[in-house]
Amino acid sequence: MSQAEAVPRRPRPLWSLGLLRSEIGTTFRRWRTLALLAVLAGVPILVGIAVKIETGGRPGGGGGGEVGPAFISQVTNNGLFLVFTSLAVTLPFFLPMSIGVIAGDSIAGEAHGGTLRYLLVAPAGRTRLLLVKYATTLTFCLVGTLVVALSALATGALLFPLGDVTLLSGTSISFGEGLLRALAIACAVALSLVGVAAVGLFISTLTSSGIAAMATTVGLLITVQILDTIPQLDAIQPYLFPHYWLSFADLLRDPVYWDQLQKNFGLQALYAVVFGSAAWARFTTRDITA
């Protein structure tokens, strides 16, 4: 037996930090990505200016049964509430739409540009590439959410007073603790987008057109959100990925209500497993011609 035959071949690892860094760098250098982040950063500015003009800077009243009104009514009292308001405004459409664009283009865009075959040569491999693409999309979920939160915090500090935070349950906490809750909410919102990212990745493996994948993902997002508002479909709504998105508001209660948050995170994990597995099954058996 030769020396080459005696030495066992090492299994190819499923993860590559270098490949991940390269993919993240490439994604965040694209003009499309920068434009999406600019739009996300602009939403809190527009909301803050609109509230300032509407109220003339006068302190507003509290209360409000829905998440949006409850937050907006507190913005003039405390600029930190602009963070919560902006996340509530961007979560139903702007944030998931951005995720849909990034996820939908992840595989299909490479196929359309003729670079997918080159990415799959050793030492990449299909499973590793798929994991890196999904991790990059999740990174954008977190970055996009933090961009909204930081833009809202800066705008709120410029336009409105800052101080102790009155929670939805009526308890007052310090501004520092309010910042920590804002960070926790931003992370919760980012985790709420895990399911959309997995769905978009799966759709991206079904076509070689990046535009078609992005449009399909965004169209599916809009359709699911419409279904989530129809009372006659209340039996299936708890299984739709956007159903528990606004549960992040429970982090602004004392004590925190974990029931809806846990259901949200569990549902997102389920979508990630199901559609991530479907994406892997499709991508690893797909005939790559471009």
Q: What is the pLDDT of residues 50-59, one digit of tens each?
A: 988 877 655 5
Give pLDDT, residue 12: 54
**Mean pLDDT computed over 276-282:** 94
Which residue(s) pair with 172 in the sheet?
166
Long-range contact pairs involving 132-136 (C-beta distance under 8 Å, separation at least 24): 132/16, 132/19, 132/20, 132/23, 133/23, 133/106, 133/107, 133/201, 133/204, 134/106, 134/197, 134/198, 134/201, 134/276, 134/279, 135/20, 135/23, 136/20, 136/23, 136/24, 136/27, 136/102, 136/106
Mean pLDDT (whole number) for 224-252: 93
Q: Is the pLDDT of residue 112 over 80?
A: no
pLDDT at 1: 47
Are the CB atoms for 107 and 206 separated by under 8 Å?
no
**Mean pLDDT throughout 71-88?**
88
When pLDDT is cut at 50, 70 and 90, the band that residue 70 belongs to is: low
Take residue 191 and report the two structure tokens written for it: 């985790």
CA distance 121 to 45: 45
pLDDT of residue 58: 59
Q: pLDDT value at position 267? A: 97
For residue 138, pLDDT beyond 90: yes
Q: Is the pLDDT of residue 63 over 90?
A: no
Please give the span between the terminal C-alpha atoms of the chain, in angstroms, as a whole number: 40
Residue 32 has pLDDT above 80, yes or no: yes
| pLDDT, average across residues 89-109 | 91
* Residue 165: φ, ψ to 5°: -105, 125
193-202: average pLDDT: 95
CB 151 within 8 A of CB 82: no
Percentage of the chain lying above the pLDDT 70 cut: 84
pLDDT attached to residue 283: 87
Name the helix (H) or strand (E) containing 212.
helix 210-227
pLDDT in tens, 159-179: 999 989 988 888 899 999 999
Q: What is the mean pLDDT of the chain?
A: 86
Select the more confidently predicted residue: 227 or 2: 227
- Give every CB contact of residue 247 below 8 A, 6+ residues apart in sequence: 188, 260, 261, 263, 264
Q: What is the pLDDT averaged over residues 15-36?
A: 87
Which two three-digit tokens encode residue 157?
A: 């500090």
pLDDT of residue 61: 47
Nearest Cα neighbor of 106 from 29, 28, 217, 210 is 210
Q: What is the mean pLDDT of residues 115-129?
A: 71
Q: Distance between CA atoms of 123 and 142, rounded to whole angstroms?
A: 28
258: tokens are: 């974990």
- Cα angle at 283 between 282 and 289, to 5 degrees? 115
Please determine, for residue 142, whether its predicted confidence score (pLDDT) is greater than 80. yes
Give the separation between CA 79 and CA 94, rounded to whole angstroms: 21
